[in-house]
């Protein structure tokens, strides 16, 4: 027993001696830090310093309040010559020590250095908890300045605009509203846009219909998003919810509502919170494409009411003139479509047309029965009457002596004036269709040009003259007149009431009808020889007046 005990004691002694010797060697090969000092002592931190040692891999630090038994440790202090110790309390006396660790495995290690003491300060602290700092609470309630890196917020003054792509009355137009903010303004919480006239045409819209687009920037321009505006929900016939979908990711970006109010339109948009109440700068432009119906001519008033997350309220008002574009293309012009369908007045230089009232006269050179007569027809128009299209002159008796005509015969003359121009023509037979119908040309006496043709005909019970006007690319005359005379071509009927009728059509479909009556009589024309006088109501012959029918002998 004694022998075993002796043997075990020897083994323990050898092991203990070896461990002690090894520990002594390791400790001696990793030097204790020296020349310790404490600088830059503040309320909550201090800088600990010592001489650098290139053999040290890292240090182990322990510190505590003086008079406290337990230590606090930092086991991996970098192998530098100083260390910022933080998390301290003001006006406390601290002590600290350091040991060197010369390998990653924490051996060899030195012993602890000499104790060092320091007392933390009690300087006044700013809102960032920085002793003697210059940070402060700004008007938005945020800690700024000093070492915070934050600038003070500025006044809430968003830049707002509402525009229409057209100011023409009663047309669908693009409605654009936008606002932007400078960096450090309070964040927008909600935005309301209104008008006092016009309305959104929401007819026929369904969910996911595309109704516009938007462009958005945030974070001082670091974030740029383009979106498509889609119908989210059709709430009623006068109100829809709109969703803004990112063109690239397809993600929902924001939503807002548009609706028709009793006087105009109402747009309400709310901003999502971003964990702060100050913007780094942002802008939004929203275009509702072809959705807004402009009101009749008026002054339309726009208003924006934008509220910040801090309760600031910015109200801005705008106005635009809505007017109609006249038929001449002039915004707010006074040109209009007259009864002839032409754009007149305003800047056109054109006068409105007047009623279609051509002046017509018909005359014959004598009223003797069964005799050859000249037939004259005259037509004129005042300026701005509708242009004539076709004209028909007819009678209830008499006939044209067409059977006596030959091609090339001159059968009359005509004069024409129009638009300050004057023409003198001769009437020449150009075609004899039958004994009862011929075509007459009106040939300019100076140039030989054919200025028009018309047809003369014998019809049952009388004659007809049909003429057509050459189109002149408008439907209104500047004033014109025509005078046509047929020489010795019309044969009067027997004694009767002869009536000529003019039927003139305008290019707009107006019809003017006029009648011209003549009394045809058969005169007694006795010669100096024996004659018979008949059908005379009264006739003076050789100084004697006869009032009864009968046979009389010249003496």
Per-residue pLDDT of the chain (555 residues; tens, 9 = 90+): 444 433 333 333 333 333 333 433 344 479 999 999 999 999 999 999 999 999 999 999 999 999 999 999 999 999 999 999 999 999 999 999 999 999 998 889 999 999 999 999 999 999 998 998 999 999 999 999 999 999 999 999 999 999 999 999 999 999 999 999 999 999 999 999 999 999 999 999 999 999 999 999 987 778 899 999 999 999 999 999 999 999 999 999 999 999 999 999 999 998 877 788 999 999 999 999 999 999 999 999 999 999 999 999 999 999 999 999 999 999 999 999 999 999 999 999 999 999 999 999 999 999 999 999 999 999 999 999 999 999 999 999 999 999 999 999 999 999 999 878 899 999 999 999 999 999 999 999 999 999 889 999 999 999 999 998 877 788 999 999 999 999 999 999 999 999 999 999 999 999 999 999 999 998 765 544 444 444 455 566 666 766 655 566 655
The total number of residues shown for the chain amounts to 555
Query: Cβ-count burial of 149 within 10 angstroms (0-12 exposed, 13-18 middle, 19+ buried)?
Result: exposed
Per-residue pLDDT at 534: 46
CA dist 34 and 116 (Å) reads 11
CA dist 250 and 230 (Å) reads 12
Per-residue pLDDT at 141: 92
85 close to 46: Cβ distance less than 8 angstroms? yes
Residue closest to 266 by CA, chosen among 173, 189, 190: 190
Residue with the two structure tokens 């687009």:
213
Q: How many CB atoms lie within 10 A of CB 172?
A: 16
Task: Give 18-64 as a 3 state SS string.
Answer: HHHHHHHHHHHHCCCCCCCEEECCCCCEEEEECCCCCCCCEEEEEEE
The three-point CA angle 195-196-198 to 5° equals 80
Q: Which residues contact 72 (CB under 8 A, 6 or more apart)?
A: 62, 63, 64
Largest interatomic CA distance in the chain: 215
Bridge partners of residue 421, in order along the sequence = 418
464 close to 457: Cβ distance less than 8 angstroms? yes
| Long-range contacts (CB closer than 8 Å, 24 or more residues apart) made by 13-19 | none
Per-residue pLDDT at 420: 80
pTM, full prediction? 0.64
Per-residue pLDDT at 271: 83
Per-residue pLDDT at 471: 77
Per-residue pLDDT at 470: 75
Per-residue pLDDT at 553: 62
CA dist 551 and 533 (Å) reads 6
357 close to 386: Cβ distance less than 8 angstroms? no
194: which 2 tokens? 């209104």
CA dist 184 and 308 (Å) reads 12
The DSSP code for 278 is B
Task: Give 204-258 as a 3 state SS string.
Answer: CCCCCCEEEEEEEEEHHHCEEEEEEEEEEEEEECCEEEEEEEECCCCCEEEEEEE
Per-residue pLDDT at 458: 97
From residue 151, alpha-carbon distances to 139, 183, 278 in Å are 11, 9, 10
Per-residue pLDDT at 223: 86
3: which 2 tokens? 């022998």
Per-residue pLDDT at 274: 79
CA dist 253 and 238 (Å) reads 24
304 close to 192: Cβ distance less than 8 angstroms? yes
CA dist 248 and 253 (Å) reads 11
Per-residue pLDDT at 230: 97
Phi, psi of 18, rounded to the nearest 5 degrees: -65, -45
321: which 2 tokens? 């003139």
Per-residue pLDDT at 530: 42
CA dist 206 and 213 (Å) reads 17
Q: Give the H or E element holding residue 434.
A: strand 421-434
Q: Which residues contact 413 (CB under 8 A, 6 or more apart)?
A: 424, 425, 426, 427, 484, 485, 487
């Amino acid at each position: 027993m004694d022998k075993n005990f002796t043997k075990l004691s020897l083994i323990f002694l050898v092991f203990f001696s070896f461990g002690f010797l090894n520990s002594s060697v390791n400790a001696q090969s990793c030097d204790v830090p020296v020349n310790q000092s404490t600088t830059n002592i503040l309320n909550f931190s201090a800088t600990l310093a010592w001489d650098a040692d290139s053999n040290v891999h890292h240090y182990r630090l322990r510190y505590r309040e003086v008079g406290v038994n337990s230590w606090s440790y930092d086991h991996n202090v970098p192998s530098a010559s100083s260390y910022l110790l933080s998390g301290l309390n003001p006006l406390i006396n601290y002590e600290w020590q350091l040991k060197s660790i010369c390998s990653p495995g924490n051996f060899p290690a030195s012993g602890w250095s000499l104790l060092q003491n320091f007392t933390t300060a009690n300087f006044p602290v700013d809102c960032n908890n920085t002793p003697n700092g210059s940070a402060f609470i700004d008007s938005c309630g945020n800690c700024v300045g000093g070492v915070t890196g934050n600038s003070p917020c500025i006044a809430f003054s968003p830049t707002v605009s509402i525009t229409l792509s057209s100011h023409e009355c009663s047309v669908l137009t693009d409605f654009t509203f936008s606002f932007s903010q400078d960096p450090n303004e309070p964040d927008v919480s909600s935005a309301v846009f209104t008008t006092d006239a016009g309305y959104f045409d929401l007819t026929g819209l369904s969910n996911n219909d595309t109704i516009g687009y938007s462009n958005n920037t945030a974070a001082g321009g670091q974030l740029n998003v383009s979106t498509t505006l889609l119908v989210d929900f059709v709430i009623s016939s006068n109100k829809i919810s709109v969703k803004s979908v990112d063109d690239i990711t397809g993600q929902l970006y924001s939503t807002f509502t548009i609706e028709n109010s009793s006087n105009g339109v109402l747009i309400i948009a709310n901003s999502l919170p971003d964990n702060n109440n100050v913007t780094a700068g942002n802008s939004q432009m929203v275009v509702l494409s072809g959705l807004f119906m402009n009101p009749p001519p008026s002054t339309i008033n726009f208003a924006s009411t934008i509220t910040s997350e801090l309760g600031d309220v910015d109200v801005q008002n705008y106005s635009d003139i809505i007017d109609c574009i006249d038929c001449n293309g002039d915004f707010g012009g006074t040109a209009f479509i007259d009864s002839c369908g032409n754009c007149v007045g305003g800047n056109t230089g054109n006068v409105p047309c007047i009623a279609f009232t051509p002046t017509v006269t018909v005359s014959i050179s004598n009223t003797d029965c069964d005799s050859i007569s000249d037939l004259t027809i005259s037509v004129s128009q005042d300026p701005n009457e509708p242009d004539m299209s076709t004209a028909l002159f007819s009678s209830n008796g008499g006939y044209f002596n067409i059977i006596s005509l030959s091609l090339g015969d001159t059968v009359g003359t005509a004069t024409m004036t129009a638009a300050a121009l004057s023409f003198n023509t001769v009437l020449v037979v150009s075609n004899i269709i039958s004994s009862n119908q011929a075509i007459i040309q009106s040939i300019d006496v100076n140039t030989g040009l054919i200025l028009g043709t018309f047809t003369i005909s014998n019809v049952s019970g009388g004659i007809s003259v049909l003429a057509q006007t050459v189109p002149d690319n408008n439907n209104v005359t500047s004033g014109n007149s025509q005078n046509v005379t047929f020489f010795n071509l019309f044969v009067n009927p027997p004694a009767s009431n002869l009536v000529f009728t003019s039927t003139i059509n305008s290019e707009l479909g107006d019809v003017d009808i006029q009648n011209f009556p003549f009394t045809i009589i058969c005169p007694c024309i006795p010669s100096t020889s024996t004659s018979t006088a008949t059908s005379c109501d009264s006739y003076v012959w050789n100084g004697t007046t006869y009032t009864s029918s009968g046979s009389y002998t010249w003496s």
